[in-house]
Amino acid sequence: MPALMDDTALRLTGQDRVLVIRLGAVGDVLRTLPALHLIRQAYPDVNLTWIVEDLSRDLLLGHPEIDEVLRLPRRELKEAAASPLRFVKGLKELARDLRRRRFTVALDFQGSFKSGLLSWMSGAPRRVGFAPGHCREMSFLFTNLRVRPRAQRLNRVEKNLALAEAVGAAGDEVAVVLPESPEEGERAASILRDAAPRGEAVAVLSPGTSRRQAHKRWPAERYARLAALLRDTLGAVPLVAWGPGEETVARVIVEGSSGRAHVAPATSLRVLAAILRRAGVFIGADTGPMHLAWAVGCPVVALFGPTDPGLNAPLGPGNAILRVGRSMADLSPEQVLAAARSILARPRRPGGAGWPARWSRHHLFGSAAGAQP
């Protein structure tokens, strides 16, 4: 069943000034990029501004398909919330900043109260979002053109593409465009040379999750055992990536592997993306780094516990999805090793800055994908 709109389908024009709203989590921002790409391909002259929080802003700066990246001052607004007057003043300043750009269209890919409020604050006369049942926190109250995807439980990429198609940006290509500077590529190559000086395949392990998503973590001792197996049986070099607050667990894994694994240095998300472009496999849970690996075309062994792979698994062939029941501890290192072995045995396409990840929408989602004209 195709995606439907509650109102007449909205097409953009080259004169439109469009605000894209997808604010926070790295994985959610990355899975909106294919929709952005279709919009830019369909409307090369439209002005596209993306508002985003600090967590994912680094990924979007300098993006060739975005005209301006706006920072949502979440931290400042949170601090101001202790004083109602300061908070209201902060909201008014944000609204003025948005409205002076004279947006004609706001596209709410997030579907939350916060994103819906921003679409209304933007002053855009056309505010496109998801219909009731496909969004959260009654965000549909802030939009006046609503997209109804073909099903409630869709992979997030397909759901975002439905919104893009509703505004006239149709196409079979699912592409993730992420810029990489020469400096980022050189930094990544240097890190990989240090870890694997003889050119061995590198397996990037990502053990961290946010505190809120601790249920997604695979135990550190399982990663340590896996690292030893990867090195001893496959000859691959395990490189443990980590984010803020995760360095300790990364070092626990290295110590538990008796030094077979290496701790990656602190990097930005963009340098991590450059590392993943050149790595042989990524192994980790349903987190931002997993989606980053998918976005740059690195084969993924995705570790799922109670969360739904149908919504969040990396798309396309070449990935392995391992799911267990209630506890991530039920997944054994030997199971993960078998999946990594299969991936590393295949020839790997060349990577690098000029090779965006691309798939066929029809092959990913089948004939049901699409939107009603």
Q: Whose CA is closest to 142, among 102, 103, 109, 115?
A: 115
Give CA 182 to chain center in angstroms.
22
Predicted pLDDT at 300: 97
Q: What is the pTM of this model?
A: 0.91
Both structure tokens of 119: 């679409």
List, in sequence order, every beta strand (DSSP E) within the chain: 4-5, 17-21, 47-52, 68-71, 105-108, 126-130, 145-148, 173-176, 202-206, 237-240, 262-263, 281-285, 300-304, 320-323, 357-360
> SS3 of 25, please?
coil
- Give the model confidence (pLDDT) of 205-256 as tens digits: 999 877 777 778 899 999 999 999 999 999 999 999 998 888 999 999 999 9
Residue partners of 181: CB distance under 8 A and separation at least 6: 62, 270, 353
Q: In Å, what is the CA distance from 104 to each residue of 40, 47, 82, 170, 363?
A: 16, 10, 33, 20, 34
Predicted pLDDT at 326: 76
Q: What is the DSSP letter of 108?
A: E
Q: Whose CA is closest to 228, among 334, 73, 85?
A: 334
Give me the architecture of the 4-177+361-365 domain, per CATH: 3-Layer(aba) Sandwich (3.40)
Predicted pLDDT at 10: 79
Q: In Å, what is the CA distance from 320 to each residue of 16, 57, 268, 290, 347?
A: 41, 29, 26, 12, 16
Fold (CATH) for 182-355: Rossmann fold (3.40.50)
Predicted pLDDT at 216: 82
Place of tokens 């550190």: 220
List the domain boundaries for the chain. Answer: 4-177+361-365, 182-355
Tell me how far apart the alpha carbons of residues 153 and 172 are, in angstroms, rounded to a whole number: 21
Predicted pLDDT at 255: 96
Q: Report, as ranges of residue numbers, the positions in the chain whose pLDDT lies below 70.
A: 1-9, 348-356, 366-373
183-210: buried (b, 16+ CB within 10 Å) or exposed (e) per residue?
A: ebbebbeebbeebbeeeebbbbbbbbbe
Place of tokens 């496999």: 281
Predicted pLDDT at 162: 95
Q: Do domains 4-177+361-365 and 182-355 have the same CATH topology?
A: yes
